[in-house]
Amino acid sequence: MMKKTVSLLSMLLVAATLSAREVERVYVSTDRTVYVSGDDVWVSLFVCDLSGRPSTFSAVAYLELLSPSGAAVEAKISLLDGRGAGIFRLPSSIPTGTYRLSAYTALNTSETTDAWRIGDRFISVFNISSKARLDSLVVLTPEEEYRAEARSSSSQGKVMLSVKKTASPGEKLVVSLLNQGADADVSLSVYHDDGIATPSQEHDIASFVSALGSSAPVYGPSGRLSEYDGEIIKATVIGRSDKDDEASLSTAGEPSNIYIGRNDGAGNYLFQTNNIYGEREIVCELSSTLQDDASLRIESPFIHPSALFLPTLQLSEAIRPDLTLRKRALAAESAARPDTLVEFMPYRRDLILGGGEKIHYHLDDYVRFPSVIETIVEIVPSLQLKKSKGEWKLTMIAQDATGFRRYKTENLLVLMDGVILSDISHIVSFDAMLLEDIDIYDRTVVFGRTAYRGAVNFITKKNYVTVLDFPSNVTVTDFHGVSYPVAYRGGVAPGSGQDLRQLLYWDPVMKMASGKDTSIEIKAPSYKGQFRVVAEGLASDGSPIFREAWFEVR
């Protein structure tokens, strides 16, 4: 009896431990807290369990910039081992005011309280091109009364931060970090610290950690499926569909993403992805046995939570010079935007055709032919287009695993710009002069319930696949995928003129081993002013880290 009791207690402890690991809290770190309309906001996410250690459960987080009137911006951030990084741009039409930046995972969407909001961040936004305001949150302050409030954040953790106190315009400086504690993971930002008041935060990294223990979730009766591999895209059936119908989703252009949907029994198909990156066009096809014109509509994954409390923003003539400089800096960046200077960080990939050998034909290397049939006959000997019983078929000369026996097969996955083509006639009627490449994969490709003997991808010059005349069961939709995880390490575009950068350096995921030094080099801009260096994050034991330093360009 005692053994059974011990066994039962062990099972309960294991179950409790597993349950605890599946609680996630997201802390939002940004490069700054004051922006102007049109600015880029650089984001770093820390996803933790209730002990403050990284949660590796979810692979995507959702980010919303909230005001009392709703979400001004929506973004998706890919997660890898509990960390995420990305970037989004503030609309030029965004009203002046203070906003709440909230991040959550699919696990948080089934919680019935606001316990998950402890990692939210406030940012102030000034519209420099219009008088649009969040009137209830903007306070007009006389110039003589305006002052930037002193920050309340205190130093945390055992990461030491130092930088030379003064510099000349254009001078190179070194920022040094020494980790005297456990392994650390921080975001590091260096930016112009002008005279504009920064919003007071509900939670800094220290209060976030201290609030974890009291933020246990209360779950409702239903919630989204866990997204441990990547975003689960939900598509609703428009028309009638049978549970055995097959639905596919593919993205136009590189990299190719192809997924089969699962019928949830409630009129929806769910596509389990490994995250689709960037702004894409996606093509969904529903092969309905009940009604030919049944199609799919992609549903939004965002939950649009309340903005809750928002602090007021001071608007005053006192900050006109600072806003004028920011406006000039933004205009200067428009010709040489840091987009070209970003550094991509590691992220998870799921490319059905990636990682294997392919036979690549770049058609401009050959004599061009006006028709696709002629192009294949003259350039691609392993392919053949033929018509059988009124339907076009594409066949390929394949070889077995030994590489000696060759045979012809029609069991091919046919794509254009990475999009599945069920009707080969689209290829036959396409203008061959608009084709750029043909890629052939002579290997088994498993897709859904079907194993194909090979794959062929016809690549056009400008993703022309999305303008094909598809039947009504195929829908083409603009899709906002997860942001590519990027860092900005201070590069300046050559010939960009006066250096007015407001952000000098941003590393959203800086790993620092215990006892190790880390040094970065930054270049001071062309103008004079005060600059702030901020490192915040978590140590491997779950303790908070926050350090800051200043230097002046004279």
* Residues 185, 282 within the same domain: no
Instruction: Tell me the pLDDT band of 244, cut-offs 50, 70 and 90.
Output: confident
* Cα–Cα distance, 508 to 487 (Å, whole number): 6
Residue 494 in any domain: the answer is yes
* Residues 310, 329 within the same domain: yes
Residue 387 in any domain: the answer is no
CB atoms within 10 A of CB 362: 11
* Cα–Cα distance, 7 to 9 (Å, whole number): 5
Q: Contact at 8 Å (CB) between 537 and 46?
A: yes
* Residues 136, 35 within the same domain: yes
Q: Contact at 8 Å (CB) between 79 and 59?
A: yes
* Residues 116, 23 within the same domain: yes
Give the pLDDT score at 338: 55
pLDDT digits 0-9 by tens, 177-228: 999 999 999 999 999 999 999 999 999 999 999 999 999 999 887 778 899 9
What total number of domains does the chain contain? 2
pLDDT at 117 over 70: yes
Query: Minimal CA–CA distance to 524: which of 488, 551, 496?
Result: 551
| 22: region left, alpha or beta (phi > 0 left; psi from -120 to 50 alpha) | alpha
Instruction: Tell me the pLDDT band of 451, cut-offs 50, 70 and 90.
Output: confident
Give the pLDDT score at 336: 60
Residue 400 in any domain: the answer is no
Q: Name the E strands within 130-220.
A: 138-140, 159-163, 166-167, 172-179, 184-192
* Cα–Cα distance, 11 to 1 (Å, whole number): 15
- Amino acid identity, residue 422? S
Structure tokens at 296: 């799919």
* Residues 132, 249 within the same domain: no
- Judged by DSSP in three states, 139 sits in strand
* Residues 128, 185 within the same domain: yes
* Average pLDDT across the chain, whole number: 89
pLDDT at 353 over 90: no
Instruction: Tell me the pLDDT band of 4, cut-offs 50, 70 and 90.
Output: very low
* Residues 272, 140 within the same domain: no
Instruction: Tell me the pLDDT band of 398, cut-offs 50, 70 and 90.
Output: confident
* Residues 99, 183 within the same domain: yes
Instruction: Tell me the pLDDT band of 445, cut-offs 50, 70 and 90.
Output: confident
- Judged by DSSP in three states, 114 sits in coil
pTM exceeds 0.85: yes
* Residues 144, 163 within the same domain: yes
Residue 447 in any domain: the answer is no
Residue 22 in any domain: the answer is yes
* Residues 202, 294 within the same domain: no
Mean pLDDT check: name the lowest of 157-171, 257-271, 503-517. 257-271
* Residues 82, 143 within the same domain: yes
Residue 539 in any domain: the answer is yes
Residue 39 in any domain: the answer is yes
CB atoms within 10 A of CB 210: 13
* Domain interval for residue 273: 232-298
pLDDT digits 0-9 by tens, 58-115: 999 999 999 999 999 999 999 999 999 999 999 999 999 999 999 999 999 999 999 9
* Residues 161, 270 within the same domain: no
* Cα–Cα distance, 162 to 178 (Å, whole number): 9
Residue that is last in its domain, among 298, 324, 355: 298
pLDDT at 333 over 50: yes
Residue 42 in any domain: the answer is yes
User: When comparing pLDDT for 320 and 244, which is higher?
Assistant: 320
Structure tokens at 550: 């200043």
In 3-state terms, the chain is what percent helix, strand and coil (to 5)? 15, 40, 40
Long-range residue pairs from 514-518, CB within 8 A, at least 24 positions apart, any chain: 514/179, 514/181, 514/182, 514/183, 514/184, 515/179, 515/180, 516/178, 516/179, 517/176, 517/177, 517/178, 518/176, 518/177, 518/178, 518/179
Residue that is last in its domain, among 298, 313, 335: 298
| DSSP secondary structure of 150-172 | PP----BSSEEEEE-SEE-TT-E
Give the pLDDT score at 13: 35
Residue that is last in its domain, among 241, 263, 298: 298
> Which whole number is the average pLDDT over 289-309?
88
Q: Contact at 8 Å (CB) between 482 and 231?
A: yes
> Which whole number is the average pLDDT over 34-40?
96
pLDDT at 480 over 60: yes
